[in-house]
Amino acid sequence: MLIAENLLWLLILIGVMILVHELGHFWAARYFDVKVEVFSFGFGPRLFGFRRGETDYRFSAILFGGYVKMAGEQPGDEGLDDPRGFLAKPRWQRLIIAGAGPFMNIVLAVALLTGLFMVKYQRVVEPSVRGLVGHVAANSPADRAGIREGDRIVRLAGKENPSWEDIILTEVAGASVPLEVAIERDGRRIETTVTPVLEERSGVGSAGWAERGEVQLGSLSANMPAEKSGLKPGDLVRRVNGQPIGSAIKFHELIRGSKGRAVEIEVEREGRRIDFTVQPVWAKLDGPERWMIGAIVAQKLKIETTRLPFFEAVEQSVEHNIRGATLIAQFLKGIVERRMS
């Protein structure tokens, strides 16, 4: 039911995007006095509609998207000699009419996010020190490049003082691309190169590093070791078998690496430190069988919720859209170059 509902909303969204796209062509054509014969909501045979002036505004059988039919739009069309036909207009006007559709899609994207951010805008409060590495997976690209837990990434692919969001976006789109990295360790600056590899499960680039931060327990599976031992959602994981925990990835690696042996987990709850002994079990919940305790863990994020004034909302909307478009372009480039799948 949920899948069907999501699919319905996706189709509605795509339909609106197509309709707005065609409105761009329509308004530009009208502005340059091009004769618009049909503006259709949907495709296929005409169901109903009305005529205003020279344009037939109609609803068609397949109510998905729409189209605009202009006089003299294609060679061989009737009205090709009409001075108000599309091909009779100067090239620069035709270019504007053709580009008005994509332009309206950009306007729609910016407008939607602007409205959303004026109602509710959430931002992750960044740590006082950016780019701290909380874990490096063994034999990962980061590990082979000499990066260690506790290092601070101070430059990545030419960007100085990157946020962890910047690091992730560069990493996931950078499979097989050598990335120049500068880290800070014990007051020294070290230059190295990391080449993310394509991760089969996610289909994106992975360097094998993770941000340092507090790790918090989320939901616990019923009748699984985490719940039975007394752990609770919201507990902050401080240590596993005496090792400090600065990332969810490190937590999972220690549990899986236990090979079924009991693990000592130290958590912080309401300001108190509490120790638990938890016996992992060989089970399958959300993937392949592995040693697990039945707990979802994640980086604890401090979220700030506010409402943005109009101009700031526009600025953030433009920034988010540019970032998203850039990431999509990087993914497509990676697919073409067979670095991603």
The residues assigned a catalytic role are 22
β-pairing, 152-156 vs 281-283, is unpaired
Residue 173 contacts residue 179 (beta carbons within 8 Å): no
CA dist., res. 285 & res. 288, Å (int): 8
Closest to 256 in 3D by CA, of 295, 290, 300, 294: 290
Strand partners, 50: 57
CA dist., res. 166 & res. 211, Å (int): 12
CA dist., res. 249 & res. 231, Å (int): 19
β-pairing, 209-211 vs 121-124, is unpaired
Tokens of 109: 């994207």
Tokens of 274: 């509490």
Tokens of 14: 């795509």
- Alpha-helical (H) ranges within the chain are 2-31, 91-119, 141-144, 164-172, 225-229, 248-256, 310-336
The 10 Å Cβ neighbour count of residue 111 is 14
